[in-house]
Amino acid sequence: MDYIFAIRSSIKRATVFLKRSTNAIFVNGYNQKLLQAWGANIDFQFVLDTYACAKYCVGYIMKAEGGVSKLLQAATYEARRGNVTIKDKLKKFVNILITGSEISAQEAVAFVMGIKNTMCSRTDIFISTGHPDERIRILKTQKELDELGDDCEDVCSKGLLDHYTKRSSELEDVCLAEFASMYEFSKNMRQTKASRTSLESGE
Cα 62–Cα 29–Cα 57 angle in degrees, nearest 5 = 20
Given a contact cutoff of 8 angstroms between Cβ atoms, the answer to whether 161 and 126 are in contact is no
pLDDT at 49: 80
Distance CA 183, CA 100 (A): 42
pLDDT at 147: 86
pLDDT at 195: 37
Given a contact cutoff of 8 angstroms between Cβ atoms, the answer to whether 178 and 202 are in contact is no
Distance CA 46, CA 38 (A): 17
**pLDDT by residue, tens only, the chain of 203 residues:** 777 777 777 777 777 877 778 887 788 888 888 888 888 888 877 888 888 788 777 776 655 555 556 666 676 776 777 666 777 777 776 776 666 666 667 777 777 788 877 777 877 788 887 787 888 888 888 888 888 888 888 888 888 888 888 888 888 899 988 898 888 777 764 443 333 344 444 43
Which residue, among 32, 9, 29, has the nearest Cα to 20 in the 3D structure?
Answer: 29
Q: How long, in residues, is the chain?
A: 203
pTM above 0.75, yes or no: no
Distance CA 127, CA 199 (A): 17
pLDDT at 100: 63
147 by Cβ neighbours in 10 Å (0-12 / 13-18 / 19+) ranks as exposed
Residue type, 6: A
pLDDT at 72: 65
Given a contact cutoff of 8 angstroms between Cβ atoms, the answer to whether 160 and 197 are in contact is no
B/e letters for 78-111, b = 16+ CB within 10 Å, e = fewer, are ebeeeeeeeeebeebbeebeeebeeeeeeeeeee
pLDDT at 41: 83
pLDDT at 36: 87
pLDDT at 92: 72
Cα-to-chain-centroid distance, residue 170: 37
